Amino acid sequence: MKSYLAAAIQMTSVPDLQKNLTQAEELIDLAVRQGAELVGLPENFSFMGEEKDKLAQADAIAQETETFLEKMAQRFQVTILGGGFPVPVDSIGKVYNTALLIAPNAQELARYHKAHLFDVNVPDGNTYQESSTVMAGKELPPVHFSEQLGNIGLSICYDVRFPELYRHLADKGADVVFVPAAFTAFTGKDHWQVLLQARAIENTYYVIAPAQTGTNYARRQTHGHAMIIDPWGTILADVGDKPGVAIAEIKPTRLEQVRRQMPSLQHRVF
């Protein structure tokens, strides 16, 4: 594993596939021009709208999104995570919320179907029922082993509240873990940063958290603050509340230092 720059992209995605892909391409280009070799896009980056509209367009969204990710990875010669988009499940009228990691040669490296679905009555008056249209993934997320970039683990948004998933990734040897999200503005202001820092600290790995921000559609507002956090819990980059890119260096020497100074994973009893 070498030292390299990673990017967490922040978007305001809307119910318009082409508009979102154009925005994503511009931000990928911005990240690459700053030297990023590993780039993460947020959950719902290619489409963020009403559930019925997502289902109606799911085939087109899935096909065009995968093609887009392959083209971007190849054009810019970077490894790209598409942090969450709908992929239809055969014959049941639902989709998987899917994260996809693509190599610079356009080959698929890892795929993960979001396991924890956001069925929550948020105190701001909004109700979310992700399971009404999304099928929960039934497998723990994978870790992709890369000699150059380190071992990369996947997760999506609401997963961040379930530490056992992140301990699984640590057990599998993860050095860097993605948490692409579309966190609600209401919950994000209190929980987003502290949950990300907790996952990084307790597992001593880097966390890269691409995010949605602003008003995406109707009453749906997202928190923003895409960030990159080191294994000590230090915030290396934070985009704030506007679309943009968080860039930070991923250092194997920092991983080794923190794991040597705080070898908590070696002290586990249970």
Cβ neighbours of residue 251 under 8 Å, at least 6 residues apart? 3
pLDDT score of 222: 97
Q: Regarding beta strands 220-223 and 150-153, do their DSSP bridges make them parallel or antiparallel, or are they unpaired?
A: unpaired
Which of the residues 37, 54, 157, 251 is marked catalytic? 157
Superfamily of domain 4-266 in CATH is: Carbon-nitrogen hydrolase (3.60.110.10)
Which of the residues 37, 66, 114, 251 is marked catalytic? 114
Q: Determine which of 119-123, 221-225, 243-247 has the lowest per-residue pLDDT on average.
A: 119-123
pLDDT score of 219: 83
Domain coordinates of the chain in residue numbers?
4-266
User: Sign (positive/negative) of CA torsion 195, 137, 214, 244?
Assistant: positive
pLDDT at 213 > cutoff 80: yes
What backbone phi and psi angles, to 5 degrees, belong to 48? -140, 105
- Which of 200, 250, 258 is CA-nearest to residue 79? 250
Q: Assign 214 a pLDDT band (cuts: 50, 70, 90).
A: very high
- Which of 61, 60, 21, 51 is CA-nearest to residue 118? 51
The tens digit of pLDDT for each residue in 81-136 reads: 999 999 999 878 899 999 999 999 999 999 999 999 999 988 887 888 899 999 99
Strand partners, 152: 144, 176
C-alpha 2/C-alpha 150 separation (Å) is 8
Q: Over range 198-216, report the average pLDDT.
A: 98
Whether residue 137 contacts residue 130, with contact meaning beta carbons closer than 8 Å, is answered with no
Active site residue 157: yes
Find the DSSP H helices in 34-82: 51-56, 58-76
Q: Regarding beta strands 176-178 and 206-209, do their DSSP bridges make them parallel or antiparallel, or are they unpaired?
A: parallel
pLDDT score of 91: 76
pLDDT at 51 > cutoff 80: yes
C-alpha 180/C-alpha 176 separation (Å) is 13
Q: pTM for this structure?
A: 0.97
Longest CA pairwise span in the chain (Å): 52
Active site residue 114: yes
Which of the residues 43, 54, 66, 70 is marked catalytic? 43
Strand partners, 153: 143, 177
- Which of 41, 56, 145 is CA-nearest to residue 100? 41
Q: Assign 160 a pLDDT band (cuts: 50, 70, 90).
A: very high
Active site residue 251: no
